């Protein structure tokens, strides 16, 4: 029996190191990596308008889902670098992975808000393919 393709689900708040780990997993497991923020950056820039962000995010998720589920159908490992903040979202993705014959591997990342903000503040200065993140979410 062939092993099920793995779907690594990266779960954690902003700046906890999800994309950093996603890149490691991608190379260690010959996986296709789906980093939502990179697609947003490529398509709509590093600081898309707030009023359009949700709609852009929805469109990206739709195209991404068609692609990563097809990867699983073909037996290819995937890394889903989405944040997956809510339990409902994690449950729904896990169910979808299973429907496409994959094995969900949940990876939870965590660090203090101070450390996360320091990392993001530094990353904001040289964004590359990341998105700009304001300090506001860390002040709530
Ligand atoms: N373990 C670590 N130690 C030190 N710096 C780290 C560590 N992990 C990640 N970083 C750095 O912190 C910054 C944020 O990491 P990363 O982009 O991987 O986080 P993220 O969880 O993907 O963030 P986001 O939620 O914004 O997508 C990056 O500049 C990265 O190089
Ligand atoms: Mg990231």
| Separation of CA 75 and ligand 2 centre (Å) | 25
Tell me the pLDDT tens digit for each residue of 24-39: 999 999 999 999 999 9
Rounded Cα distance between 65 and 59, Å, is 10
HSE toward the beta carbon, residue 29, CA cutoff 13 A = 21
| Separation of CA 34 and ligand 2 centre (Å) | 10
Q: What pLDDT, on a 0 to 100 scale, did the predictor assign at position 85?
A: 84
Protein residue with its CA nearest to atom 3 in ligand 1 = 17
In a domain, residue 65? The reply is yes
In a domain, residue 113? The reply is yes
**Average pLDDT of the chain to the nearest whole number:** 93
Q: What pLDDT, on a 0 to 100 scale, did the predictor assign at position 2?
A: 78
**Number of domains observed in the structure of the chain:** 1
Query: Nearest ligand, CA of residue 11?
Result: 1
Residue 73 confidence (pLDDT) above 80 = yes
Q: What pLDDT, on a 0 to 100 scale, did the predictor assign at position 139?
A: 73
Q: Give me the domain span that covers residue 13.
A: 6-139
Q: What pLDDT, on a 0 to 100 scale, did the predictor assign at position 130?
A: 83
Tell me the pLDDT tens digit for each residue of 96-118: 999 999 999 999 999 999 999 99
Tell me the pLDDT tens digit for each residue of 9-24: 999 999 999 999 999 9
Residue 40 confidence (pLDDT) above 90 = yes
Rounded Cα distance between 24 and 27, Å, is 5
Q: What pLDDT, on a 0 to 100 scale, did the predictor assign at position 1?
A: 62
Residue 128 confidence (pLDDT) above 90 = no
> Ligand 1: which atom is nearest the Cα of residue 22?
18
In a domain, residue 1? The reply is no
Assign residue 127 the CATH number of its domain. 3.40.50.300
Ligand 1 first shell, C-beta below 6 A = 12, 14-20, 37, 83, 119, 122-123, 130, 133
Range scoring the smallest mean pLDDT among 51-55, 103-107, 119-123: 119-123
């Amino acid at each position: 029996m062939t092993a099920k393709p793995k779907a690594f689900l990266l779960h954690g708040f902003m700046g906890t190191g999800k994309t950093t780990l996603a890149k490691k997993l991608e190379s260690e497991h010959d996986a296709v990596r789906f980093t939502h923020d990179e697609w947003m950056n490529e398509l709509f820039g590093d600081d898309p308008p707030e009023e359009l962000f949700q709609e852009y995010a929805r469109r990206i998720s739709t195209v991404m889902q068609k692609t990563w589920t097809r990867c699983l159908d073909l037996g290819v490992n995937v890394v889903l670098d989405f944040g997956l903040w809510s339990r409902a979202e994690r449950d729904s993705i896990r169910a979808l992975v299973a429907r496409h014959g994959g094995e969900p591997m949940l990876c939870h990342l965590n660090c203090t808000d101070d450390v996360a903000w320091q990392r993001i503040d530094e990353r904001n200065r040289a964004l590359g393919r990341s998105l700009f993140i304001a300090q506001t979410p860390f002040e709530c």
